[in-house]
Structure 1
Amino acid sequence: MALSDNIKGAIYMSAAMAGFGFNDMLVKAATKTLATGEIILIRGAISTLLIFLLALHMGALRPLKTVMHPMLALRVLAEVTATFTYIYALGQLPLANAGAILQFLPLAVTLGAALFLREPVGWRRWGAIIAGFVGVLLIIKPGPDGFSIASFLALACVFAAAARDIATKQLPQGIPTVFVTLMTSLAVTVGAGIFIQPLGGWHSPSITDVTLLGLAAVCLMIGYLALISSMRTGEISFIAPFRYTYMIWALALSFLVFGDLPDIFMLAGCAIVVASGIYTFYRENRRRTGLPAQSLPHAPH
């Protein structure tokens, strides 16, 4: 594959992470005045409409009975869980801390694939998973002075998202990506409507609140579209490490918008998680291709 395709894929991946970073910043800003349930409901309604129009344009709509496929149903349930837990955690934690915990996701997917799909994982990647989890512990600082329910929910979001990604790998090729995204967004929105009272109830949103969540929905759409484009353009081994550019946005926005400064434990934990994730991508590519280390493409520092 031409290097230019890899560069394009890396740009798409970086753009996706920027979209997700700004989405998280806007959602966190909305948590100052709105409860978790109504944030998910309002943003979800806007996102679902946008995705529906895109799916209609692409001819990607399918019969609703398609949702009954076990892996699609599992993916939808896992996404609902991940969304609810992450948005609640985002309202309680600094943006950079919540985002840093989420960077454990690729390692959690590797762990889940080994345990449930029987994919081979060597001792080096097991070591990277353990190191990454140690990094997460540094970020959440378990103990009476550091641990909180929000930290636990952010970690729960990671494992729910890992279940979502593993289920996605098992979906039939004939189900379009946009349709999967549409059904997931619809389920999240309906779930928020059903459980809106336990999730904080309804408080009449201001025009500012709706604008924030409308922009968040657009950023989320940009993130998903750029992510799909990156996976279809470049080699995964080259573009996957650019997933961690999310932390640049999370750290910058956390400081510039909310005035949050990360402590040394958060920075050290984040560095360990990111390094472990990149090493896992490297080992997976080497296992798959059988190429010596020096012949693999390197992401820029």
Structure 2
Amino acid sequence: MGNLNENMRGAILMMAAMAAFALNDAILKALVVNNAPLQVIFLRGCVTLILVYFVLSRITGPVSFRMSRRDAKWVAIRSVAETCASLGIIMALSQMPFANVSATLQSTPLLISVGAAIAFGVPLGWRRLLAIAIGFVGVLLIVKPGPEGFSNGVLWALLGVSSVTVRDLSVKAMSSDVNASTVTFFAILCTTVIFGLSCIGGDWGVWSPRDLFLLVLVACAIIAAYALSVIVMKVGDISFVAPYRYTALIWALLIGFFVFNETPDIWTFLGAGVIAVTGVYTLIGERRMTRQIQTDLR
């Protein structure tokens, strides 16, 4: 990807991150069918910590326990936000259909763009804002708001949305000295400790070999998702990259159909089409702008 500009690299990395998060959520939903949600997150964290320290650190750099006070503050904020996001998402997945949870989480890009404009002064052009708004319309077509569209888990999903927003924006505030392994390690450590404490005194069931296999698989998926989400927020303009979160809905539709036997209706396909067109339009607009800048510099 060396010849791609920063925004295009960010878009590709964002789509890969969303695929990893979708896989993680799908496995979590399968695990909470027979196991307590808090125990699932705790055990996933235990496995993930080992993989981060001994595997991921060899790829993205060693885990560092020394950082500036400013970076330490943002790492702590991100870790707490990750813990809240994990709680919201796992509880929502245990109470809502997979597609509904995924669709609800796709309101995050608009919040990230607004948050970036407020916190970092990132300009929001009307074209980008319109693209995000159109993508959100596609989300609404899939969700079909109404009493039947949201279950009691919607508040948990909203907790996940707000926490993911804080999580991703906090990465943008960190210096380049903090690598992906360090951010990921402390986020998982915080989540594992808090969820582990919450499991004290609870009833532990017997985990089947299938569930243990899924536990390892979900740990691998979340490592990839964490690392990509850290890297992508350091690449390109947040307002441009954020709309590509909507590709998570495409993964959600595929997983919902092939894994959970969810058959999308016409409105779901229409919404997915709107989201895809929005992403293509945004990418084309970026490429045209890049060409225009290059022409002006000649």
Do the aligned partners of residues 230 and 132 (structure 1) sit closer, same or farther apart at CA in structure 2, a change above 3 Å counting? closer
- CA 1:116/1:128 → structure 2, altered by over 3 Å: closer, same or farther? same
How many angstroms does 1:235 deviate by? 10
In structure 2, the partner of 1:51 is 52
Mean Cα displacement is larger for which, 132-141 or 24-33? 132-141
Q: CA RMSD in A?
A: 4.1
Residues 1:173 and 1:207: Cα distance change in structure 2 (over 3 Å): same
1:167 to 163, 166, 170: 170
The CA deviation at 1:182 is: 0.2
Change (3 A) 1:76 1:151: same
User: Corresponding residue for 1:298?
Assistant: none
Structure 1 residues 240, 127: CA separation in 2 closer, same or farther (over 3 Å shift)? closer
**Is residue 41 from structure 1 mapped to residue 42 from structure 2 by the alignment?**
yes
What is the CA-CA distance between 1:3 and the residue it aligns to?
5.5
Amino acid at match of 1:178: S
AA at the equivalent of 1:113:
A
- How far, CA to CA, are the matches of 1:6 and 1:204 in structure 2? 47
Shift of the 189–274 alpha-carbon distance from structure 1 to 2, 3 Å rule, reads farther
**1:82 aligned partner:** 85
Report % sequence identity: 38
Q: Give the 5 Å matches for 1:238-253.
A: 244-253=246-255
Letter paired with 2:108: L
User: SS of the counterpart of 2:146?
Assistant: coil
Moved more, 34-43 or 21-30: 21-30
Q: 1:139 to 1:115 in 2, by over 3 A?
A: farther
Q: 1:174 to 1:60 in 2, by over 3 A?
A: same
2:194 aligned to which of 191, 194, 208: 191
Change (3 A) 1:227 1:118: closer
Letter in 2 for 1:27: L
Evaluate the alpha carbon distance shift between residue 290 and residue 23 of structure 1 in structure 2; reply closer, same or farther with a 3 A threshold: closer
> Structure 2 vs 1, CA of residues 125 and 68 (structure 1 numbering), >3 Å: closer, same or farther?
closer
User: Which AA in structure 2 matches 1:251?
Assistant: L
> 1:52 offset after TM fit, Å?
1.5
**SS of aligned partner of 1:38:** helix
Return 73-82 or 141-150, whichever deviates more.
141-150
Is 1:19 the counterpart of 2:17? The answer is no
Q: 2:182 aligns to what? A: 179
Which residue of 1 is the match for residue 261 of structure 2?
Answer: 259
- Return 5+ residue gaps in structure 2 as ranges: none
Task: Pick closer, same or farther for the CA change 1:196–1:135 going to 2, 3 Å.
Answer: farther
| Pairing 1:92-241 to 2, within 5 Å after superposition | 92-196=95-199, 202-225=204-227
Note closer, same or farther for the CA distance 1:212–1:66 as it changes in structure 2 (3 Å cut): farther
CA 138–201 in structure 1, closer or farther in 2 if over 3 Å, else same: farther
Deviations 1:183-241 (A, max 9, x none): 0011111121122379x864332332222111111222234456667789999999877
Q: Across the two proteins, how many residue pairs are aligned to each other? A: 292
Which deviates more, 37-46 or 16-25?
16-25
Structure 1 pair 241–93 and aligned structure 2 pair: CA distance change class (3 A)? same
1:135–1:212 distance in 2 versus 1, CA, 3 Å: same
Gaps of 5+ in 1: 296-301
Does the 8 Å contact 1:135/1:272 carry over to 2? yes
Return 208-217 or 150-159, whichever deviates more. Answer: 150-159
Task: Provide closer, same or farther for how the CA distance between residues 55 and 270 of structure 1 changes in structure 2, counting only shifts above 3 A.
Answer: closer
The amino acid across from 1:196 in the alignment is C
Question: What secondary structure does 1:77 align onto?
Answer: helix
**Residues 71, 269 of structure 1: CA spacing in aligned structure 2 closer, same or farther, 3 A cutoff?**
same
Q: Distance in 1 between matches of 2:50 and 2:153?
A: 30
